[in-house]
Structure formats: C-alpha cells, structure tokens
C-alpha cells in the first residue's frame, strides 16, 4: 500500500513511526509499505538496473521506500556561479536499529536522471511526540543555474524534481582485532579488487577475467620497454582505462611491441606503499623491467612512489626502471574527499560521473561504493587508509612531495570542469556539490586542477611548461572522461613519442 501527501515548505508529515519533514521544499511524498522479508513495494519507483544489481549483491534489506515527486524550491537562494543547497532539504526520520547487535541502516537515493547519492543517518535527541528513538536522514536539494532541463526549461525546481529514496538494513559480523565494520571494505577488495598484474591486449582491455600475467608474459615484458597502466581510486583497469579510444590502444600496442600490462590493486583499504609492497613480493625473480606509465588519479601516486621511493616498500632500486609517466588527474596536492567527513560525497561524484560514460560497466563501482557506505555507517571511515592517503595534510603525501627525485619524465593532464550545453543535469548538480567542498578552487569534480601538476605548499613538485596540459572549462572534461576525449588521447601519444606506432627502442 502507498500513502501520498502533498508537503509544503517547513512542514512535517507522519506515516506511522516514519516522518518526512520539508526544509524549504514543496512537492508530493509517497511512502510505500514494504512487504515481509524486505521485498520491494509494488508501487515504489525502482532503481536503475546497475544500482539494483549492486544492492542485491550487497545483501541489503529494504526497510522503507519513499518517492519524492515534483520537488520545488524557491529561486533566489542560489549564489555564485553554481548551485548551492540554500539549506533546502527533505529529512526522513525512522526508528533506530540496535547497532550493538551489528545492525545498521543507510539510505540510497537515485534521481530521475540517474544521479546517485549515499547517506548515513544521525541519531536524534529524544522527542516526546515521536514515542520511539529515531534516526534522521537528510537529503539536500541543490539549486542550480545552467543548461536547460530535459523539458527545455531553465530554473531550479524542475531539474531534479523526482527522487526515489530507499532505506536499507544490513548486518555486520565482528572481526577479531578490528573495530565493528572496519574490515568491510578490506574484505570486499580482497575478493573483488585483489592485487595482480594483468595483460592488456587489443581486445581485452575492457575485460577483467583470466588475464593474470604468466611466466611467458613476464619474459616478453622484459624484452624491451613496456607500457604499464595504473588505474585510479575505486576502480580496475577495465573500468577506467578501458574507455581509452581503440585507436590509441592500437597505437600503443604497436609502438611497444605488444608489451602492455596493467597493475590492478585495492585502493581504499590499502595505501600506495601497501600496493608497492605487494609488487616487491610478487615481481618474479630475475625479471627486471623498463617501463613507461599511464596512470589515473590515485594511480599516479602509486607510480610516483614506484619511481621515487621503491626502497620504502622493499623493492630494490632498478628492478623497475621508469621512463615517462603520464599522470591523468592525479591528486599530487591531495583532494578534499580524502577525509572521513567527505567520503560519501566522493562516492556520489564518482558513481554519477562514471554512470554518464556510455557503455561503462558501472555496477562494480557501485558495489564497492556500497561497501564504503557500510563502513562509514559503522563509524569506521578512518579505516579507509587508501582513500585517506590522498589527504593533503597526511603523512604519505607530505613525505612524497617533500622528497628529492628526478621528475623530468613526468607529464600531467588536468581539467577545470564546468558543465557545457548538453551536459546531463546529474553532472551539473554533482559539480555543484563538488564546489561546495572545493570552494573557489578549480577542480575536475574530484581533484583540484592545480594539484594535478603542482603542489602549492612551496615544495619542489611542479610539472611545468609543455609537460602539462590543463583542459579549460569549455572542454567539458571531468575526472572520468579524459579517456574518451580526442585531445587527451593525442596528447598522451605525443608525450610518449608515438605517431604512427613504430616500435620503441
């Protein structure tokens, strides 16, 4: 059964033990009674297939389903060049669960255009009128100015008027020696994002199975200069770098004599030095490599550590000799998302940006994001040491940027992302959310633009002149779309001295 009510700004409506409160928002609220055993309500708006698939894998039981329809907020509260919330929100309060027994609840929201946001609730102070202790989930309503909506209208209220809100229950088992929930992401990555070196062929960069490097692969890679791909945060080779243009892969394949390989690795529960320690322990004895590297986001920090301080991870100098390193959107100066308070905002931006890439297999990215959501809900966000390694004030970046190394082979691509006409509204609003955290600093939705090639604390790290390219806002390039951009592809080939694909010496 469904219960439908019109809600006015600053009004609260109740449905049994659940309540919905408007903060400067009006619209229609539909609350659906869930069926026994957590089955979805028949009348509720369903999530997209990729999100539903990931939720099913995560074994999350739906407790409450709410559809928000025709949401409008009063114009005139938006300030600056992009959207702000203006304090507008919808708050949903539900009975608490017994976290002492390992039960937790979280919320996931998907709007009509596919933008996904992840939420944890806050325990409310006791209220006599509610009768039972409650947890409140708050869903900000962003206002925005920019490209026209699908209906061809400009303005605030019509853009993201409809949202599906679902609150889920999950159970966490205790792990010896760990805080409750602290091992969730570590276990997920061990199963799905394990360390490995994998082959990269003309046809298999988009694949993820049965590609581990074998003995014959290693000796082939050692025959001459090879090209190593290193992916970014919460990703795999096939999920990010797999979007490279086919012509680029073909040119690289020919230029390096088919000696292309990639380093898949956990990025959230392991630090870059942890990743290097795995390399040191698993690089076959007697195999010494000369490589160039193309790396994305946090993968650039792994590449830098591999070049600048391999001994810190137990890898003997000279085992992997590095030539050029093409860093794409690398947070050399950190990112605001590397903070326990901003971890979920990072997932919001990352998942929505990845969903907007055509034919991109986004379900695995959502699945890993749900593991992070669970761990944050358990109060164990500090255990995401791989994500926190990108904190500007953290020990890892301070040590890396403070070191002395030969960085003449470094090249860098960065972008200042601004929505352009035709950009999906989801990205527009994600850009809005990003700018609330980045302030006035130009960014690509995830990484500060300047930080992709320069560290602003007076350190010696800077990639200058023709060795870096900054995409202007008009290009519409964001953190996840470098791979599909023509100029980004040709620039990477130029930096690697590849034209027609002749063999490298």
The residues that bridge with 104 in the sheet, in sequence order, are 170
| Secondary structure string (H, E, C) spanning 215-242 | HHHHHHHCCCCEEEEECCCCCCCCCCHH
Structure tokens at 195: 């360390």
Residue 218: what pLDDT?
96
Give the CATH number of the domain where residue 446 resides.
3.40.50.1820
Is the same domain home to 155 and 269?
no
Residue 39 has pLDDT above 50, yes or no: yes
pLDDT tens, residue by residue, 272-302: 999 999 999 999 999 999 999 999 999 999 9
Is the same domain home to 32 and 155?
yes
Q: Give the list of residues 6+ apart from residue 351 with CB closer than 8 angstroms, or none.
A: 116, 362, 365, 366, 369
Indicate whether 345 belongs to any domain: no
pLDDT tens, residue by residue, 406-452: 999 999 999 999 887 766 766 766 676 777 788 889 999 999 999 99
Q: Which residue has the higher pLDDT, 28 or 147?
A: 28
The residues that bridge with 138 in the sheet, in sequence order, are 91
Structure tokens at 163: 């949202």
Q: Which of 143, 171, 199 is the last residue of a domain?
A: 171
Give the pTM: 0.90
Is the same domain home to 330 and 454?
yes
Lowest mean pLDDT among 2-16, 234-248, 419-433: 419-433
Is the same domain home to 130 and 216?
no
Domain holding 267, by residue range, is 189-338+389-495
Within 13 A of 433's CA, how many CA atoms are on the CB side? 26
Residue 79: what pLDDT?
29
Please state whether beta strands 134-140 and 89-95 pair in parallel, antiparallel, or not at all (unpaired).
antiparallel
Is the same domain home to 234 and 318?
yes
Indicate whether 350 belongs to any domain: no
Lowest mean pLDDT among 13-27, 38-52, 183-197, 473-487: 38-52
Residue 181: what pLDDT?
85
Indicate whether 81 belongs to any domain: yes
Q: Give the list of residues 6+ apart from residue 1 with CB closer than 8 angstroms, or none.
A: 32, 33
Considering only CA atoms, which of 271, 330, 290, 334 is closest in space to residue 463?
A: 330
Is the same domain home to 90 and 200?
no
Domains: count for the chain: 2
Indicate whether 380 belongs to any domain: no
Residue 119 has pLDDT above 80, yes or no: yes
Residue 371 has pLDDT above 80, yes or no: yes
Confidence band, pLDDT 50/70/90 cuts, at residue 394:
very high
Identify the helix (H) or strand (E) that includes residue 93.
strand 89-95
CA distance 415 to 422: 18
Lowest mean pLDDT among 1-5, 122-126, 233-237: 122-126
The residues that bridge with 166 in the sheet, in sequence order, are 65, 108
Indicate whether 248 belongs to any domain: yes
Torsion angles phi and psi, residue 377, rounded to 5: -60, -30
Whether 199 contacts 315, CB under 8 Å: no
Residue with tokens 């297999």: 361
Average pLDDT in the 24-31 region? 92
Residue 502: what pLDDT?
42
Quickly list H helices, 32-72.
49-57
CA distance 455 to 16: 54
């Amino acid at each position: 059964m469904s219960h439908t009510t019109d809600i006015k700004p600053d009004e609260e409506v109740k449905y049994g033990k659940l309540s919905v409160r408007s903060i400067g928002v009006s619209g229609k609220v539909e609350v659906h009674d869930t069926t026994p055993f957590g089955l979805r309500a028949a009348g509720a708006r369903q999530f997209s297939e990729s999100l539903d698939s990931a939720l099913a894998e995560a074994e999350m039981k739906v407790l409450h389903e709410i559809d928000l329809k025709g949401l409008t907020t009063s114009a005139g509260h938006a300030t600056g060049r992009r959207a702000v919330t203006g304090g507008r929100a919808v708050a949903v309060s539900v009975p608490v669960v017994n976290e002492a027994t390992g039960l937790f609840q979280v919320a996931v929201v998907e709007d009509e255009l596919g933008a996904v946001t992840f939420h944890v609730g806050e325990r409310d102070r006791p209220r006599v009128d509610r009768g039972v202790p409650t947890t409140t989930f708050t869903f900000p309503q962003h206002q925005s100015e920019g490209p026209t909506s699908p209906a061809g209208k400009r303005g605030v209220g019509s853009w993201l008027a409809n949202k599906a809100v679902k609150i889920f229950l999950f159970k966490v088992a205790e792990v010896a020696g760990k805080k409750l929930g602290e091992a969730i992401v570590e276990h997920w990555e061990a199963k799905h994002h394990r360390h490995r070196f994998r082959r990269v062929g003309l046809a298999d960069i988009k694949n993820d199975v049965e590609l581990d490097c074998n003995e014959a692969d290693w000796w082939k890679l050692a025959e001459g200069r090879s090209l190593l791909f290193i992916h970014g945060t919460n990703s795999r080779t096939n999920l990010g770098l797999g979007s490279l243009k086919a012509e680029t892969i073909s040119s690289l394949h020919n230029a390096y004599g088919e000696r292309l390989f990639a380093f898949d690795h956990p990025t959230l529960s392991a630090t870059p030095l942890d990743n290097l320690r795995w390399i040191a322990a698993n690089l076959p004895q007697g195999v010494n490599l000369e490589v160039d590297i193309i790396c994305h986001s946090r993968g650039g920090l792994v590449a830098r550590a591999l070049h600048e301080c391999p001994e810190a991870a137990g890898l003997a100098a000279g085992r992997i000799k590095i030539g050029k390193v093409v860093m794409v959107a690398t947070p050399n100066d950190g990112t605001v998302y590397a903070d326990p308070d901003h971890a979920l905002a990072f997932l919001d931006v990352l998942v929505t940006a990845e969903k907007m890439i055509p034919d991109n297999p986004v379900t695995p990215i959502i699945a890993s994001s749900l593991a992070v959501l669970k761990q944050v809900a358990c109060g164990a966000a500090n255990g995401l040491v791989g994500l926190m390694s990108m904190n500007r004030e953290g020990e890892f970046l301070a040590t890396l940027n403070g070191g002395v190394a030969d960085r003449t082979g470094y090249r860098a691509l960065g972008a200042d992302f601004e929505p352009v006409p035709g950009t999906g509204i989801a990205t527009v609003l994600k850009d809005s959310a990003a700018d609330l955290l980045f302030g006035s600093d130009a960014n690509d939705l995830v990484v500060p633009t300047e930080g992709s090639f320069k560290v602003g604390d007076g350190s010696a790290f800077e990639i200058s002149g023709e060795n870096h390219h900054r995409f202007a806002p008009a290009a519409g390039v964001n953190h996840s779309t470098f791979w599909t951009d023509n100029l980004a592809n040709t620039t990477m080939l130029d930096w690697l001295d590849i034209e027609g694909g002749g063999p490298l010496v």
